[in-house]
Chain A
Amino acid sequence: MTAAASALPRRWHRFSLSERILRSCFYLLAAVAVIWSIKTIEIIPEFLQDAPAQTADLFARMWPIDWSWYKSGVHAALIETLHTATLGTILAVLLASLVALLAARNVTRSVILNTIARFILVATRSVHAMVWALFFVAVFGPGALAGTLAIAVHSIGFTGKLLSEAIEEAKTGPIEALTAAGATKLSILAKGYWPQVKPAFLGVAIFRWDINIRESAVLGLVGGGGLGMALEAALENLYWDRVGLVLIIIFGIVIAAEILTTWLRSRII
């Protein structure tokens, strides 16, 4: 036995032959994809060459920044952006909670409802907030209402998906105990699921608010109100010093939101 074993050299490969062939094919495909992409986007060499000069030129035109415009042209838009993001997030969390409950297989034991809910989550998320804004601008006219609804509907997918996952990860033991005590479904939600899901719920809501601050800042470009409207006004008139101001404000508000949400999350979780 041992003699036979020592006679045969033992071989070891990380992958089997078929796996290696498959991996080679994959590498080849990846290379083809890269070449194809470069051909498709049709890079014009001259434009590529003077890109640094153009960039420098743009920044030069923004300088000095027109700070005086803040009070008359930007401040109200900034407040509107904050309101759009906040109200949109609250609305999204409310709607997403309902969809998440329907999507969670341990709470809703109906494959049909689960599938419908999952479809809503995917559908709302896969359409960009800008596109939702275009849609709501067409329905309600330009302004913060369209922006808020765009933020709310687009956020349902992200928020709802993370919430439904949190609900599905809830421990079954306590749920079973409350079931055994004769609790109703709603009571089990209140005392079995909610305490377990609460940290994730708050974390997701705060994280989404952070993202929505960034998104609502540009929604005005398509008529969704807020800073984007100010940005568009400045761009249209080629007031580059004002464009610079709006960009700096957006940058500042995003950093501030980031710091605030990081602090909030560390307090909660």
Chain B
Amino acid sequence: MDASVRSAKSANDSAGHALELRNLSKEYRAGIQVLKNISLKFAGRGIAAIIGPSGTGKSTLIRCINRLTDPTSGEILFMGTDLAQLKGRRLREARRKIGMVFQEYNLVERLSVIENVLCGRLGYLPAWRAWLRRFPAKDIERAFSLLDSVGLGDFANERADRLSGGQRQRVGIARALMQDPNLVLADEPTSSLDPKTSVEIMELIARQAAAQGIPVIVNIHNVELAKRYADRVIGMSKGEVVFDGPPKALEHSHLLQIYGGEGWLE
């Protein structure tokens, strides 16, 4: 298992990208395209931030990658397969290698913090182990060390619903990393948090991504945060990519194009 994981990782590195989207389109209602033929390549490391106004398809794009939303057409090439074609067991196996962090954290509130982190391993465990809480010792060890690394080592046995928003998102990040992913998707990870905590969370994501060499795709409202933490900024407007480049190249005129006018600046 581990050997194949590692070889897959290096395969990504040699190919130069972890994920490639080809002509990805999504229509929730026939004829109304939320995503219009998106083609993007994502490198094997670093943070790519997708910015753009609400309702522009950012979330849909990120949710199409791990098929929480099914794209209408197009290809999602990840670890040598087209995720858009996968079903059932093979889709589950592919999802195990993609961690996801959510805006509303999406923890199981009545479970303890440590168990929420262990949930990141559910894709690797038979269901009876989940029912009986028989997690392998190796997984438990890793869950504790991940909790330490996100600064929640003392909270392992707290119930998740007793944590603050920032703490919950840290658990969410630990759960995603617990999957030992080759890619992390973060869908507005800071939008429910105050400005200071938002910075802390982005800092944590950046640090963990760099330390573990995992590429991250993050949807983010806050342009300043995107510029500060991303290696690459992708600007979307009305279902299309209108800017794609390093944060330094992102200029006022681009923002006007992405957000459509001066109004948002005030």
B66 CB-CB contact with A under 8 Å: yes
Whether A182 and B108, one on each chain, are in contact in the complex, defined by CB atoms closer than 8 angstroms, is no
Whether A195 and B111, one on each chain, are in contact in the complex, defined by CB atoms closer than 8 angstroms, is yes
Q: Report the Cα distance A129→B105, complex, angstroms.
A: 46
Q: Using a CB-CB cutoff of 8 Å, which residues 180-196 of chain A contact chain B?
A: 180-184, 186-192, 195-196
Our pick among A179, A180, A186, A195 for the contact of B108 (Cβ within 8 Å) is A195
B26 CB-CB contact with A under 8 Å: no
Whether A183 and B102, one on each chain, are in contact in the complex, defined by CB atoms closer than 8 angstroms, is no
Whether B122 and A187, one on each chain, are in contact in the complex, defined by CB atoms closer than 8 angstroms, is yes
Q: How many residues belonging to A are interface residues under a CB distance threshold of 8 Å?
A: 21
Our pick among B92, B124, B175 for the contact of A177 (Cβ within 8 Å) is B175
Known A180-B68, A181-B122; judge A187-B130 contact (CB<8 A): yes
Q: Report the Cα distance A196→B160, complex, angstroms.
A: 13
Q: Report the Cα distance A187→B92, complex, angstroms.
A: 12
Whether A191 and B119, one on each chain, are in contact in the complex, defined by CB atoms closer than 8 angstroms, is yes
B48 CB-CB contact with A under 8 Å: no
B200 CB-CB contact with A under 8 Å: no
Q: Report the Cα distance A183→B125, complex, angstroms.
A: 8
Q: Report the Cα distance A183→B118, complex, angstroms.
A: 12
Which residues from B are CB-within-8-Å of A182? Answer: 92-96, 122-124, 179
Which residues from A are CB-within-8-Å of B109? Answer: 174, 195-196
Our pick among A174, A179, A187 for the contact of B127 (Cβ within 8 Å) is A187
Whether B66 and A183, one on each chain, are in contact in the complex, defined by CB atoms closer than 8 angstroms, is no
Q: Report the Cα distance A198→B95, complex, angstroms.
A: 28
Which residues from B are CB-within-8-Å of A173? Answer: 102, 104-106
Q: Using a CB-CB cutoff of 8 Å, which residues 89-107 of chain B contact chain A?
A: 92-96, 98-100, 102, 104-107
Whether A177 and B100, one on each chain, are in contact in the complex, defined by CB atoms closer than 8 angstroms, is yes
Whether B102 and A177, one on each chain, are in contact in the complex, defined by CB atoms closer than 8 angstroms, is yes
Whether B125 and A180, one on each chain, are in contact in the complex, defined by CB atoms closer than 8 angstroms, is no
Indicate the size class of the contact surface on chain B: 20 to 34
Whether A176 and B122, one on each chain, are in contact in the complex, defined by CB atoms closer than 8 angstroms, is no
Interface residues of B (CB under 8 A from A): 66, 68, 92-96, 98-100, 102, 104-111, 115, 119-125, 127, 130-131, 172, 175, 179
Which residues from B are CB-within-8-Å of A183? Answer: 92, 119, 122-123, 130
The 3 A-B residue pairs with the shortest CB-CB distance in the complex, in nearest-first order = A182-B123, A186-B127, A183-B122
Whether A179 and B179, one on each chain, are in contact in the complex, defined by CB atoms closer than 8 angstroms, is no
Q: Using a CB-CB cutoff of 8 Å, which residues 211-250 of chain A contact chain B?
A: none
Q: Report the Cα distance A241→B175, complex, angstroms.
A: 68
* Least CB distance, A185 to chain B, in whole angstroms: 8
- For A172, give the chain B residue with the smallest CB separation: B106
Which residues from B are CB-within-8-Å of A179? Answer: 68, 95
Q: Report the Cα distance A245→B115, complex, angstroms.
A: 54
- For B179, give the chain A residue with the smallest CB separation: A181
Which residues from B are CB-within-8-Å of A195? Answer: 108-111
Q: Report the Cα distance A191→B102, complex, angstroms.
A: 18
Which residues from A are CB-within-8-Å of B131? Answer: 186, 190
Whether A184 and B95, one on each chain, are in contact in the complex, defined by CB atoms closer than 8 angstroms, is no
Known A176-B102, A180-B95, A191-B119; judge A198-B111 contact (CB<8 A): no
Known A182-B92, A182-B93, A182-B122; judge A190-B130 contact (CB<8 A): yes
Q: Report the Cα distance A174→B122, complex, angstroms.
A: 13
Which residues from B are CB-within-8-Å of A178? Answer: 108, 119, 122
- For B94, give the chain A residue with the smallest CB separation: A182
- For A189, give the chain B residue with the smallest CB separation: B127
- For A194, give the chain B residue with the smallest CB separation: B131
Whether A180 and B66, one on each chain, are in contact in the complex, defined by CB atoms closer than 8 angstroms, is yes
* Least CB distance, A192 to chain B, in whole angstroms: 6
